[in-house]
Amino acid sequence: MSIFNISKVEELSTSTNVFNNVIISEMTQEMQFKSYKRRWFGLVCLMLLNIVASWAWLTFAPISSNVAEFYNLKSESPVNWLSTVILFTYALGSWPCAVVLNRKGVKTSMLISAVLVIVGSWVRVAGARANDNHGKFGVLMFGQILIGFGQPFCLNAPSYYTDMWFTSKSRISANALASLSNPLGGAIGQLVSPAFVVKTSDFPNMILWVSIIATVLCIPALFIPARPPLPPCASSASPKITLMQSFGLLRNNRRFYFMFALFSVLVGFFNSFSSLINQIMEPYGYTSDQAGIDGAVLIVAGLVAAAVLSPILDRTHTFLLAIRIQVPLIAACYIALIFTQTTDNQLAGPYFVSGILGATSFSLLPVALEWVQEQTFPVNPELTSSIFWVGGNVLGGIFIVVMDALKRPPNEGNPPGNMRNALVFQAVIAGVTIPLPFLLGGKDVTKNRRIELDEEAERHARQPHPAEADVDTQ
């Protein structure tokens, strides 16, 4: 395939039909497409990497008080930084990740992620067992930083991987499986950490077992195929442009900016809420186990909702309608969270709201990532995915810092140490996002470019070859 220069791409990108026709005309009539079963093995490997990377991120959130006690910390704020530092280092690693995906492919990216996650996990073991089993918090933090650098190399890869291996009829489902395995790892962390750490002295053993499991789950990444021998569809085989050319196309795309803001804020709040859920609930009398279950409800409900919605959207392609329904519901849930934390220790309210929040937030992720790629095609999927996840993780880190600062002191408030002000801050900012999905349309709304390209290629393939037509007429 030839590579378009940027002026040609910008000119063609103004018209979906013209762009599709140019791409199809550049493809030989002998080009073949094929979907390989091995694509599922690579997807499973990508899912496992995302699970262990996210598990590492939220290992300490549900047991923050135990971690603070183990390391003789004066407060839980340094423990919050174990989550925050991963979000910020993620941003630093995202541009190198985009370059690796663009130039070396998904296999190299996954191998880098696996190595960093494994090394970071065992550095954390050293941080928990150093100094005669009293631990060194700085070593633990360094392990988190290594894992943070490894996260983008697996979390930014699903859009690139699904574009390479899957057709338009299954990309959202495949992207959902890979992208949402990251929060699934978070759910495992929310449940496993409190189960392992019954008392503070259990902390080093928990870190050891998590590292062993992470190492085993990362090994399959060694065996994934680099790329399919034949592309699965026309959009996968379309001409590729450079990252700089992709930036040129994104520069004037207002839908990209609106969706970036929407995605960043909502993912940021999901990250911060997941990291602080134990500290939000404990002042009201909830236990660490109950907070962990609430975090698991948040994530499991989301996985179920995404599993149901993704195949439907793969068939209907009604992305924008789904986004316009999901975003107001997400904002409403963040508002409701203010009123569900009560001293009567009732679990129905927090669990119900967390379930709805998880269902809407999780099902939004793959839809947003695929929709923006449809709107910005032929921009490289690894670039849009990287930019979106950087926004979500950076804002997540900022939100954790802000919400921690809004936490009442241990001897003040009703109840003491509550995070009601932080929940109000979260609700107000989330409410501001409600109009954004309704600004994504308009008269200049673009169609789903990759989907239309694949449909046009299928129609083109069904037409008789000129030589065959001549034979028929004779």
Question: Which residue would you say has higher pLDDT here, 425 or 172?
Answer: 425
Residue-level pLDDT at 75: 77
64 touches 278 (CB < 8 A): yes
Question: Which residue would you say has higher pLDDT here, 267 or 449?
Answer: 267
Instruction: Look up tokens 């890979």; give the residue.
Output: 178
State the Cα–Cα distance between residues 7 and 388, nearest whole angstrom: 25
Residue-level pLDDT at 28: 43
Q: In the predicted model, what is the mean pLDDT of the chain?
A: 80
State the Cα–Cα distance between residues 31 and 83, nearest whole angstrom: 48
Question: Which residue would you say has higher pLDDT here, 380 or 207?
Answer: 207
pLDDT in tens, 131-183: 766 778 889 999 999 998 888 888 888 878 888 888 877 877 787 787 778 77
pLDDT in tens, 9-63: 444 444 444 444 544 445 444 567 777 788 888 888 888 988 988 888 778 877 8
What residues does each domain of the chain span?
49-224+253-462
pLDDT beyond 50 at 421: yes
Question: Which residue would you say has higher pLDDT here, 271 or 15?
Answer: 271
pLDDT in tens, 281-319: 888 888 877 887 887 788 788 888 888 888 888 788 788
Residue-level pLDDT at 145: 92
pLDDT beyond 70 at 4: no
Residue-level pLDDT at 241: 72
Q: What is the mean pLDDT of residues 63-87?
A: 82
- On whether the pTM is more than 0.95, the answer is no
pLDDT beyond 50 at 193: yes
pLDDT in tens, 428-470: 999 998 988 888 765 545 567 777 776 676 676 666 655 444 5
In a 13 Å sphere around the CA of 402, the CA atoms on its Cβ side amount to 17
Question: Which residue would you say has higher pLDDT here, 399 or 380?
Answer: 399
pLDDT beyond 90 at 328: yes
Residue-level pLDDT at 317: 79
Question: By mean pLDDT, which of 189-203, 236-250, 255-269 is the weakest?
Answer: 236-250
Q: Which percentage of the chain shows pLDDT scores above 90?
A: 11
pLDDT in tens, 120-129: 999 999 988 8
Residue-level pLDDT at 117: 92
CATH 2.40.50.140 matches 49-224+253-462:
no
